[in-house]
Structure 1
């Protein structure tokens, strides 16, 4: 997602600190030039740290081990472990997810799970990637508003199906295939609208934050309904004496004015209504950018 935007590092790029200096005297001779080129070739140019745990974590996402073809057939598959982890998170929440709980659901010992995943962190990565794989992302040729609207609604429904995702640090979503597919699709809806690149990223981040915020509120409301046995309408009806006994129209004149004008009437679908207002603002930004070209 845009809040998890990655700055790509070209794999064939050359670090400017290692680029042959164009100011080198041409009279230095072929030997001097060869020395510079040899230094660039021999020295890794990306200078990217690769801790062992990060390497294992990324490899599991992008190149998971194939099931063994020889010897005794494995009792489980990696997909089954991920599915069980997702089921546990759905039932008890992500904070209560543990390798022991997942193993119990699968009917195996906890230690056997480490044959498939190194630990809980890697399991959660795989669970998130599996969930994001459910998204029906907008096609490349969709008009920007239709595409961005579809992107937002798909992510909204994903959070309704998998509320445990919202318990993760959304600024550190895993660098996994399906998470990046979603970000690619979101950025693609805006990249050819005439917006500067930084505004494309900013706007997608705004949409992501909007969706997450409403999704968290909706999930919290569902949890409250289940815990109290009282719907939102029933709750506010039970609190109606407040308006007669405590609300002061002189202290809150603006609130009163908006209330009397129907401003607090709840729309049939608050997500769609709010998303339309947000996209109206994006459209104005796009129009302004095109006018400046």
Structure 2
């Protein structure tokens, strides 16, 4: 078996099941295992944090653990399964907002928690957000985000769309921060030094008449306190969401008890994950 072994449809049916299982107790028979599943996943996350997701392979993780690559296959059957477990492990670091917060401070805390998560694990921005693993810590984050807005008067569709917009905004900031980190390492100059060195351009090359809108904004200091790649400023986005909530006249979203009172084949509510109801 190699890292590039394709998943079969039959294997995909159970792809995420193991992410929900409790860790198996160590076997008392035979030689003790040199590593356990948790150590394998933690080592893979460490490789990705330092070198990026493309550096993660069964061989690179095995080297980090000081074992043979075949040892890993007893814990994760393929690289795809390993990456699923890595995402779930990383999402355990997502600092979720307090349930008792009002929607705006809660959503701001959620956004900052997500930004901190992506800064700690920049490789997460390379994961396809449309195919996130069906994993408990990922679900916990999704649940926390939706819970913030579900009873604000927004429609069900608006709740989902708004959280998606917040997530995409935050991931954009995080990607910029990661790119800035890379440029600082390769070019040897920080953000402030880079822009300070561009003074000659603004004085001798830039023509205000060609960019009147930018000039108007610059004249009143609009760019003086602009967010750097290392800051998350979403006040304007939260203001927009607040206006949306104020104008909303959507039908109330059914309560959990109402959803559960209807047999699953006849309801529009999604089925619960085992053990998460």
TM-score, normalised relative to structure 1? 0.78
| 1:96 paired residue among 43, 50, 55 | 55
CA-to-aligned-CA distance 1:200-250 (integer Å, 9 cap, x gap): 111111110110111111111111111111011111122221112211122
Q: 1:131 to 1:60 in 2, by over 3 A?
A: same
Q: 2: CA distance between counterparts of 1:153 and 1:52?
A: 39
**Pair 1:127 & 2:98 matched:** no
In structure 2, what is the equivalent of residue 170 of structure 1? 129
| 2:176 paired residue among 199, 217, 223 | 217
CA shift, 1:290, in A, is 4.9
Q: Please state whether the residue corresponding to 1:117 is helix, strand or coil.
A: coil
Q: Please state whether the residue corresponding to 1:188 is helix, strand or coil.
A: helix
Q: Please state whether the residue corresponding to 2:185 is helix, strand or coil.
A: helix
Contact 2:177 2:230 in 1 (8 A): no
**Pair 1:189 & 2:148 matched:** yes
| 2:204 paired residue among 216, 221, 245 | 245
RMSD: 2.1
Q: 2: CA distance between counterparts of 1:276 and 1:270?
A: 16
- The structure whose RCO (Cα within 8 Å, separation 6+) is larger is 1
Q: 1: CA distance between counterparts of 2:97 and 2:218?
A: 38
Q: Please state whether the residue corresponding to 2:209 is helix, strand or coil.
A: coil
Q: 2: CA distance between counterparts of 1:167 and 1:151?
A: 20
TM-score, normalised relative to structure 2? 0.82
In structure 2, what is the equivalent of residue 84 of structure 1? 43
Q: 1:1-293 maps to which residues of 2 (within 5 A)?
A: 51-63=9-21, 66-71=24-29, 72-267=31-226, 274-290=233-249
Unaligned runs of 5+ in 1: 1-49
Count of residues in correspondence between the two structures: 244
Q: 2: CA distance between counterparts of 1:75 and 1:115?
A: 11
CA shift, 1:253, in A, is 1.7
CA shift, 1:257, in A, is 1.7
CA shift, 1:256, in A, is 1.5
Q: 2: CA distance between counterparts of 1:121 and 1:258?
A: 48
CA shift, 1:143, in A, is 1.2
Q: Please state whether the residue corresponding to 1:57 is helix, strand or coil.
A: coil
CA shift, 1:145, in A, is 1.0
Runs of 4+ in structure 1 deviating by more than 6 angstroms, as ranges, are 268-273
Contact 1:267 1:273 in 2 (8 A): no
Unaligned runs of 5+ in 2: 1-7, 253-277
CA shift, 1:146, in A, is 1.7
Structure whose alpha-carbon radius of gyration is higher: 1
Q: 1:55 to 1:101 in 2, by over 3 A?
A: same
CA-to-aligned-CA distance 1:155-187 (integer Å, 9 cap, x gap): 010001110111211221111000011001100
Q: 2: CA distance between counterparts of 1:273 and 1:118?
A: 38
